Amino acid sequence: MRFQPPTKRRERGSGLFESSPSESDASAGEELDLEDVEQVPSGIDDGRRRTPQRAQPQRERTREGQRSRESIGVALKPSAARGGSWATSGPERKGLFEGGGEEDDAVSVESLRERVKQRQKRKESEILSLKAELDDALAKISEIEASLAQERKAREECSIRMDECQRIIEKRNRQLIKASERMARLAEQNDAQVKESNQRIEEQRQELERSPDGDTLRKAYSKLSLQICNSALQHVHLSLSQRKRVGLFALHSFAKHFSVFTEDSSIAL
């Protein structure tokens, strides 16, 4: 059978290492180590690549295909050997990373559970202690609030009493001022009455001296003067007693309210 060259020109560099679809599928399934693959020398095939594909006979092409396959097989031998070594060393590596078996795993799980339980117990005890401290703090806060409310109430009552005492003191001061003014007016009136009585006594004495009946007139003058003096003294005594009564009442009330004010102020302090 006569060899028919391909109708289309192949690309450069695809003559020697071109593989069939079956070979390409088989080679794609294998995992190759690219570092260990030996490259085929390119100097051998440079001349043949330069020659046109149509001029090569079929025998040479088959020989070249066999050579290329042999070279590929030689290159793949180290990687296959290494793959076998990997396969043999696989169980050993797996044994190195194992934790000691199922018993060790069960023990580790049990210890982990015990640790978790202990941690939960510690957390629960801490939470209970914190709750107790919180309850104590809330009780103290309520007590402090109650004492503060009592203190505020006492201060408000003290301020109210102080205001009342201040109003009473001002009222008593006004009363004292009025009483002093009244006493001054009474004193002026008494002085005027005493002057008037003295003038009358002097006039009657002069008339008695001028009259012929001196003894009888003197006796009458003396009686009249004594009466006038007694009435004046009684009037003065009444006015003084009234003044004294008013003054004592004012002083007593002032002292009473002042003592109450001092007691309230001492209690507040």
13 to 3, 9, 28: CA distances (angstroms): 22, 12, 20
d(CA 95, CA 84): 18
Task: Return per-residue pLDDT of the chain as tens, 269 residues.
Answer: 455 555 544 444 444 444 444 454 444 444 444 444 444 444 444 544 444 444 455 666 667 766 766 665 544 444 444 444 444 444 444 444 444 555 666 678 888 888 899 999 999 999 999 999 999 999 999 999 999 999 999 999 999 999 998 899 898 888 888 888 888 888 888 888 888 877 887 787 777 677 655 566 566 666 666 676 666 666 666 666 666 565 555 555 655 655 544 554 454 44
d(CA 56, CA 22): 24
Residue position matching structure tokens 């004010």: 261
181-219 pLDDT, tens per residue? 888 888 888 888 888 877 887 787 777 677 655 566 566
In terms of residues, how long is the chain? Answer: 269
Q: Is pTM, for the whole model, over 0.85?
A: no
3 to 17, 51, 55, 61, 208: CA distances (angstroms): 21, 17, 11, 12, 202
d(CA 184, CA 243): 10
d(CA 56, CA 58): 7
Query: Do 204 and 221 touch, CB atoms closer than 8 A?
Result: yes
Query: Do 218 and 207 touch, CB atoms closer than 8 A?
Result: no
Residue ranges of domains in the chain? 21-91, 159-268
